[in-house]
Structure 1
Amino acid sequence: MQAVEANAALGVLAARLAGAGSAAERVAGFEAAYRHVAEWRYQVAVQGEWTRPGASADDVRETIGDGGYMRYRLTPGSGRREPGSPAWKLLSELERVALKRLGREQQVQNVVTLRDGTTVNGNQLHLVAAPRDRETGATFPGHPDYVATQTATYANREVLRRASFEALAELEGLRAAGTADVRDPAQRQAFVDAAYFLVQGPEFRRGSDAIMRTFLVAAHARVFDRAPVLPHAIDLDGMVRGQDAFSQVMRDQLRVLPSADESGLAATGADRAPRDRGVRRTGGIAR
């Protein structure tokens, strides 16, 4: 399902970027592909797929509005996260990272450096203290302290999402000039920056992780003509680890699959489904 949509988004990019002669046109092309993926994610929810208990399809279309934010609890132990499960292990690791960054503080502000060197505030990490017994100071059973992420402000998320499209447009300019090269460390870093900015700028109350990952796969395939396999849970990595550590994770774990000339197989890595799922290339990313 995700591979089909990644191919569709790649088609949007091909149509919108054909003959694009300015940076603004290239930015608009990537935003159009992003919007296509966002609409796809909403329609998936309408069909009853990938909705959490108690959530609705409308949550996938509802934006995190001006003055609003979303928190995501890192401390495992709720819902379907069974001890020892992959989700439990992942959240436990990221909780340790967050606690180390927090140190003795109750809050950490991620500061994002854009491609031009300017900075903007991204998301925050919080240590949320649980209610305590007034006499003993102990937390109540089943209600421990926990670590949570909190999205950036609406205005900053708009800036960060735009910065992602601009970084991809920069790479599209190199592609148009015939100089895009997935082996070039600077160009790979430009893609990593685009991924980080997008992770820092979620738009919707639900579904942003699938939207980001599917869109980034299509964007990478467009600018480098190679489908990537993204590291697992890059949305949480980006919110918890900070920019430098996120870049290191991407340098260590981002894989690029063989081109169509080198292999008949590709994979999208487009969401938290099992990775490395081989699917036959048919002129797009994968089908």
Structure 2
Amino acid sequence: MITAALFPVPGLLLRTNDRAAQQTIRGFAQQQATTASLVHHTLITALHRSHDTAERTTAFEAAFTAAEDWRYRAAVSSQHPDGRYSARWAQRFRTPITDDNPNLFRIGEPARFRDGATWDPDTRTYQGGIETPASRTMRDFEAHATARFAQTREGDVVSNPVALPDGRIAEGMRLLRGPAAHQAAVEMATRIAARGGDTSRIITDGHLIYCATGPEADRRAIFHLAMALLAAEHPTPPAALTAWLQAVYLLYQAPRTKRGADAATRTFLIAAGSSILPSPPVLIRDVDLRACVCTQDAFVAELRAAQSGTR
């Protein structure tokens, strides 16, 4: 059975220590489970009617699109009165990521995720507050990203090389620091200002780390080969599990929409995994950030270790 337990709440969403508020946030997992069950049922039906790998691939692609459509509809019906999760910004849940409009996300500044932290305009830092799951999560991932830079000689940009099933190497998510991160911060501030948002708290200098989506052509190739990987004939359950593990990493290197890509991808992955495995697979917490800061081998090994009963 596909249940809410298969959808661990991202640590970055838990920015409060209030248990009632946390429970409300955790409630979204049930929506994902319900949608994943529906997508799974439709996918199984389509797979049974498929005659070859091409038709199976089309079925998986349709399932992914269904997960994206659900996330958009959920955004449209959002009960948040304002802010980034309000229905006002629902269109961003189906706005495509492009080379001219990549996704950018800052990794760092954990103090802003503390419960009760306040902004000091003089020092341009967040002060006070109590640690939360979100602040601890951000601190951990900042350390992981810093370690990636220490392990490479690529300079201010570290790209995730993605080994594709056909033997090619594509460029996945990128980690930015130094001038590259400063440029990303300025671009982020410019976009927010154009939407009428407040940019006073966006830091554009100093020690910054950002993650950014890879080139559009690479993302498109990664996505389609992930679908083909899932659609291929898997002679044994262990072979199917290996295919699913690799597909998880691939899909997180190839997000398609400006908002909601993580939730849509998680929902699809549980539905797809339940279609090719004896039992539903397990996702690790903050799977999207882990895919960004980890190498392919390290990510797949960690995800494999989290599986139990999925053989």
**What is the TM-score with the length of structure 1 in the denominator?**
0.76
The question of 1:149 aligning with 2:211 is answered yes
Identity in percent: 30
Which residue is 1:84 aligned to?
131
Which residue is 2:253 aligned to?
200
1:154-188 deviations in Å (ceiling 9; x for gaps): 11111111111011102xx23xxxx441xx2x432
Letter in 2 for 1:65: T
The counterpart of 2:43, out of the listed 13, 30, 34, is 13
User: What are the residue-to-residue correspondences of 1:248-263 with 2, within 5 Å?
Assistant: 248-256=301-309
Q: Distance in 2 between matches of 1:68 and 1:221?
A: 34
Cα contact 2:171–2:214 (8 A) shared by 1 = yes
Q: Distance in 1 between matches of 2:39 and 2:260?
A: 17
Q: Would the alpha carbon gap of residues 89 and 226 (structure 1) be closer, same or farther in structure 2, given more than 3 Å must change?
A: same
Cα distance, 1:68 vs structure 2 = 2.5
**What is the TM-score with the length of structure 2 in the denominator?**
0.71
User: What are the residue-to-residue correspondences of 1:93-104 with 2, within 5 Å?
Assistant: 93-103=140-150
The counterpart of 2:270, out of the listed 206, 217, 234, is 217
Cα distance, 1:234 vs structure 2 = 1.0
Structure with greater helix share of residues = 2
Cα contact 1:180–1:223 (8 A) shared by 2 = no
Letter in 1 for 2:261: S
CA RMSD of aligned residues (A): 2.5
Letter in 2 for 1:162: H
User: What are the residue-to-residue correspondences of 1:160-171 with 2, within 5 Å?
Assistant: 160-170=222-232
Cα contact 1:220–1:227 (8 A) shared by 2 = yes
Letter in 2 for 1:75: G
**Total equivalences in the alignment:** 240
Cα contact 1:126–1:149 (8 A) shared by 2 = yes
Letter in 1 for 2:131: G
The counterpart of 1:231, out of the listed 241, 263, 284, is 284
User: What are the residue-to-residue correspondences of 1:1-287 with 2, within 5 Å?
Assistant: 1-48=31-78, 53-54=83-84, 56-77=89-110, 80-82=113-115, 84-103=131-150, 105-128=155-178, 143=203, 144-170=206-232, 173-174=233-234, 179-181=235-237, 184=238, 186-256=239-309
Q: Distance in 1 between matches of 2:271 and 2:66?
A: 11
Cα distance, 1:80 vs structure 2 = 4.0
Letter in 1 for 2:215: T
Q: Would the alpha carbon gap of residues 210 and 54 (structure 1) be closer, same or farther in structure 2, given more than 3 Å must change?
A: closer
Q: Distance in 2 between matches of 1:192 and 1:166?
A: 14
Q: Distance in 2 between matches of 1:81 and 1:180?
A: 46
Cα contact 1:9–1:36 (8 A) shared by 2 = yes
Cα contact 1:13–1:222 (8 A) shared by 2 = yes
